[in-house]
Amino acid sequence: MAGARWLDEREARLWQAYRALTRDLQRAFDRQLERDGGVSGADYALLVPLSEAPDGVVRMRELGRAVGWDRSRLSHQVRRMETRGLVTREECVDDARGLMVRLTPSGRAAIEAAAPEHVATVRRYFFDQLSEPEQETLTRLLERLAGKLAADAEG
Amino acid sequence: MAGARWLDEREARLWQAYRALTRDLQRAFDRQLERDGGVSGADYALLVPLSEAPDGVVRMRELGRAVGWDRSRLSHQVRRMETRGLVTREECVDDARGLMVRLTPSGRAAIEAAAPEHVATVRRYFFDQLSEPEQETLTRLLERLAGKLAADAEG
DNA sequence: ACGACTCTGTGGACATGTCAACAAAGCCCG
DNA sequence: CGGGCTTTGTTGACATGTCCACAGAGTCGT
């Protein structure tokens, strides 16, 4: 590994573009959500699967899988959201280890306030800049990258 | 904005792939850096431009530009790195408002320990998964997206 | 000189994310 | 049954990131 091949100029440029884009897009979305819905990016990430579930109820485990977070991060975030009145926590009937998270009316109002402008922002900075074939290409490439990551994670 | 057009299935898939990939790649890199060099992703981000500068000295302002961080974030991070012995801070001769950040031998050792495996990880999960034409395409698309973001940031 | 404005960095308060240890409940196999 | 293993979620300590107000130094026009 001492002989690891360095990035050449062309590669460094791509890597730099990737890092800068992910950093700045994240920042732009977080700010928009805070401004238009009074919610953080982390709040919003959880509000999405909750708002799509029947009765706005999702088990912690499923919520964690939906957003790709580990248990600890999810637990902290749900607790914070409960204190802000966005969700409540209830016992899980099926499995006493489990916990159900329920979207409150206030939580639903928050995501409904934030979502339209969020989607508009995603379009503005992402989809509107790419033709349909480019979007297809990008999907294929990103899914391939994610696949390698996932394959190594289990192996 | 109530009539904002939602994402269709194809678009949602791309958006999901983008979010998942950026999240998981970030996590993989942070862990690798911590494991092999004992440094955080934030540490590493600053160590890179410092290690490339003459004498390992860079002014705060330039460091902030190099990594795309705001002043506050940079100030906090440099202070933390100083307590860990990775850098020192010195007065700036040219401009009394300024501050020079200097890489310590310990800081240089840290990045030299982390870098080879970091580059290998970047190759493993990114470049090795993409053909050269695909890398060219991706560079073009990402730079276009970054351009739109930058254009709006100043405007 | 001086006053208004800008540039640069700091610091406190707070939200978020990570890690490791823990506890309770389910599961499986003797 | 009963003892180990797995699954699920929590917690505390700590690192990181953001917002905002501030302070000191430079700049520019008068």
Protein contacts on strand D: list nucleotides below 7 Å from a Cβ: 7-13, 15-21, 24-26
User: Which carries the bigger pLDDT value, residue A124 or residue B153?
Assistant: A124
Per-residue pLDDT reduced to its tens digit, A4-56: 789 999 999 999 999 999 999 999 999 999 999 999 999 999 999 999 999 99
Q: Quick one: pLDDT at residue B152?
A: 84
Q: Are B24 and A149 a contacting pair at CB < 8 A?
A: yes
pLDDT digits (tens, 9 = 90+) for A63-80: 999 999 999 999 999 999
Query: For B82-127, how does the pLDDT look when each residue is reduced to its tens digit (9 = 90+)?
Result: 999 999 999 999 999 999 999 999 999 999 999 999 999 999 999 9
Q: Give the pLDDT of residue A3.
A: 56
User: How many whole angstroms separate alpha carbon A49 and alpha carbon A66?
Assistant: 7
Pairing of strands A99-103, B57-59: unpaired
The distance of A93 to chain B (nearest Cα, Å) reads 31
- Predicted pLDDT of residue A95: 96
3-state secondary structure chain A: CCCCCCCCHHHHHHHHHHHHHHHHHHHHHHHHHHHHHCCCHHHHHHHHHHHHCHHHEEEHHHHHHHHCCCHHHHHHHHHHHHHCCCEEEEECCCCCCCEEEEECHHHHHHHHHHHHHHHHHHHHHCHHHCCHHHHHHHHHHHHHHHHHHHHHHHC
pLDDT in tens, A95-137: 999 999 999 999 999 999 999 999 999 999 999 999 999 999 9
Give the pLDDT score at A32. 96
Q: Distance (Å) from the C-alpha of residue B98 to the closest C-alpha of chain A?
A: 25
The predicted structure's pLDDT at residue B3: 54
Which tens digits make up the pLDDT trace of B57-68? 999 999 999 999
Task: Provide, as residue numbers in chain A, all residues whose Cβ is less than 8 Å from the Cβ of B21.
Answer: 142, 145-146, 149
Please give the pLDDT value at position A1: 45
Chain C nucleotides near the protein (CB, 7 A): 7-13, 15-21, 24-26
pLDDT at B33: 97
Report residue B5's pLDDT band, with 50, 70 and 90 as the boundaries: confident
Q: Is 80 exceeded by the pLDDT of residue A153?
A: no
Task: List the single residue in A with minimal CA-CA distance to B141.
Answer: A130
Average pLDDT over residues B41-48: 98
* CB contact at 8 A, A44 and A118: yes
Secondary structure element (H or E) that encloses residue B103, with its range: strand B99-103
**Does an H or E element contain B113, and which?**
helix B105-125
Tell me the pLDDT band of B151, cut-offs 50, 70 and 90: confident
pTM: 0.93
Query: Which member of B120, B146, B153 has the closest CB to residue A4?
Result: B120
Residues 113-132 of A with CB under 7 A from strand D: none
Which pLDDT belongs to residue B45?
98
Are B126 and A15 in contact (CB < 8 Å)? Answer: yes
Q: Of A6, A14, A36, A125, which to mutate for an interface test with B (greatest number of B Cβ within 10 Å)?
A: A14
Is the pLDDT reported for residue B155 higher than 60?
no
User: Which one of B139, B144, B152 makes the best mutation probe of the A interface by having the most chain A beta carbons within 10 Å?
Assistant: B139
pLDDT for residue A155 is more than 80 = no
Distance B3 CA to D22 C1' (A): 43
Q: Please, are residues B81 and B107 in contact by the beta-carbon 8 Å criterion? A: yes
